[in-house]
Structure 1
């Protein structure tokens, strides 16, 4: 899988249609890969994708099903617990690689300094 959320949201998986642009499936992909543990409750997803609307359950299930179709069940597993989750392969999402790079940089420079202070030292 090749996933991008820094810029235009898209995800490509060989053998599947993938997602891109301003679709609900792409929005759900972006929400899940930027959430802790790559998961959100159904309520969190509904509040993000359909703010202010009550009980968009049918639409939520359709979007999750569409994302599963577009990326595959290995990436978007069925989850009866009321939690929407995604399992991106390690290193496959730009945002995750970026966050890991920031964390490595902070460890190299010491936790007492933030990334901005590290950049100041380099300039």
Structure 2
């Protein structure tokens, strides 16, 4: 693995040029203007050999749960199965392209939006990026 590949693997791309160091991928809470309680974001492993991502976090009845992985927004009750399918597809693509399959990013974001909130996962991602930019 080259130094550039190590640097990319050491951080998570959250879009819009926002990179988060892997060491900082902990549970975060994001306040949204239309929500009386914050949305939570957990960074979960998106492959079948890790803990079940649906067990991470504690959604309450009525909360909206979605996952963001490799540019995909997954919101169905079969989202964890879709995470595994995308993971295997990315690994297969890396192998067929003769790339190091260890470079496949396997971290997904699990977003829990409170039941009394009218925001979308995209709104949470925008707020998360703003929060991280403010920290730097």
When Rg is computed on C-alpha atoms for both structures, the one with the higher figure is 1
Task: Tell me if both proteins adopt one fold, taking TM over 0.5 as the criterion.
Answer: no
Q: Which has the higher contact order (CA 8 A, sep 6+)?
A: 2
- Structure with bigger helix share is 1
User: What TM-score results when the alignment is normalised by the length of structure 1?
Assistant: 0.31
